Amino acid sequence: MLKHTPLYNWHVAEGANITEFAGYEMPLHYKSGILEEHRTVRTKAGLFDLCHMGQIRVRGRQAVEYLDYVLTQKIADMQPGQVRYSLLTTFDGGTIDDLMVYKKKSEFVLVVNAANKEKDYAWLRDQKGLYDVELTDLSDTYGIIGLQGPAAERILAPLVEDGLGNLRYLRFLETEFFEVAAVVSRTGYTGEDGFEIYFPLQAVPALWNQLLREGKSLGLVPVGLGARDTLRLEMGYSLYGHELSRQINPLDAGLDFAVKFEKDYFIGKEALEEIKSSGVKREIAAFVAEGKVIPRTGYKIICQDKAVGFVTSGTFSPTLERGIALALIEKGLENENVHLEVRGQLKPLTRVKTPFVPGRVKK
């Protein structure tokens, strides 16, 4: 039985093309299509239904110690109002999920991928051991709305009493809409300035409609999962199940910045140290295709007649108007002359650094 967010009926009434994602029926795109939605987020603003994502609250006397044990990121020095990107890894260093950690005054909330929420919750519960912590799955209690794009602040500011202008990237504030408590963070996965709003699930449609009304004159439109993916891929951001998996560890994925080896211990530390000292064998590399070629997940990367990897995410970049890809390849290829195998033909690729398109988050 597929699940629905409280905005499902709204999406259907808007004529959205609905797709199955992580056990939910979600909008892939609305009538205007992925390209237009993508471009609107880059130039104006887009509204995203993220109510399918998971939220796990961690509180208790040893919440900090526990999270420093299960997460690769450093938690002890987080200040209230701060958000950090972290990985959740197994003892052998495989990636269980990537997530955002919200540090509140006396508790933490982990925001996790929709497809992984049950698995993450089960893992976190299993690792609890004797830690004095309480875990609560808030996924069906709070919903999330994403508001992304250069006009996002102008749209949201009139609805938030104070502080939005001073809110930095990876920080959040607690406010209210319609006298109901909400969390607003300056975060997102599009590369644009923007916010994610946490609000009681049943009240999400009221806030969604209010935001669309407020933003209409500034060009705000709803945006589906299709453009969410092209936007994140233009930034070179990892997506679990593509650039990260049980088989693709955070070092393969180039996410060293979120793996804090200076911590005394965390699950996966020994395995990842071993991998690091023996030399990371693979890497996620970014490529741009030439001509009318669009790399797709699973296409092979060929170097000197030999397969050296495969595409983990590929799409048409609406900004560059070229095919772009992230691929897992052998690390340290001396010959940079690589090709993409497309239905039996070899097409040239140019290796680039991410992001494919300059990011504009408000640092």
Partner 1 sequence: MSLGKVPTHLLYTKTHEWVRVDGDKVVIGITDYAQSKLGDVVFVELPSTGDDFDAGLSLATIESVKGVSDIYAPISGSVWEVNEELEDIPEYINEDPYGQGWLLSLSIEDQTELDDLLTAEEYQALLEDEE
Which range binds partner 1 by CB under 8 A, 108-116, 194-202, 314-322, 329-337?
A: 314-322
Residue of 235, 229, 225 whose CA lies nearest to 5: 225
* DSSP type of residue 220: -
Query: Residues 3, 6, 17, 169: which binds partner 1 (CB under 8 A)?
Result: 17
Q: Can you say how many angstroms the Cα of residue 356 is from the centroid of all Cα atoms in its chain?
A: 16
Is 34 a binding residue for partner 1 by CB under 8 A? The answer is yes
| Cβ 133 vs Cβ 58: under 8 Å | yes
Q: Does 315 bind partner 1 (CB under 8 A)?
A: yes
User: In angstroms, what is the minimal distance from the CB of 311 to partner 1?
Assistant: 13
Q: Smallest distance, Å, CB 14 to partner 1?
A: 13
For partner 1, the binding residue among 292, 306, 353, 363 (CB under 8 A) is 292
In the complex with partner 1, the residue whose CB is nearer, 6 or 33, is 33
**Among 257, 246, 237, 275, which residue's Cα sits nearest to residue 74?**
257
Query: Binding partner 1 by CB under 8 A: which of 239, 294, 352, 361?
Result: 294
Check: CB of residue 184 under 8 Å from CB of residue 351.
no
Using the rule CB under 8 A, is 62 a contact of partner 1?
no
Q: Positive or negative, the Cα torsion across 180, 184, 189, 194?
A: positive
Site for partner 1 contains 298 (CB under 8 A): no
Instruction: Provide the 10 A C-beta neighbour count for residue 95.
Output: 26
Phi and psi torsions of 214, nearest 5°: -60, -35
If one asks whether residue 200 binds partner 1 (CB under 8 A), the answer comes out as: no
Shortest approach of partner 1 to residue 226 CB, angstroms? 6
Q: Which two tokens stand for residue 14?
A: 């808007």
CB of 12 to partner 1, least distance (A): 10
Options 25-33, 97-105, 126-134, 165-173: segment touching partner 1 (CB under 8 A)? 25-33
Question: What minimum distance in Å lies between the beta carbon of 230 and partner 1?
Answer: 6
User: Does the footprint of partner 1 cover residue 233 (CB under 8 A)?
Assistant: no
Tokens of 117: 């929420």
Size of the site for partner 1 (CB under 8 A): 19
Residues pairing with 341 in the sheet: 346
- 355 preceded by a cis bond (ω within 30 of 0): yes
- The two tokens of residue 143 are 């919903």
Interface positions with partner 1 (CB under 8 A): 17-18, 28-29, 33-36, 226, 230, 292-294, 296, 315-316, 318, 321, 343
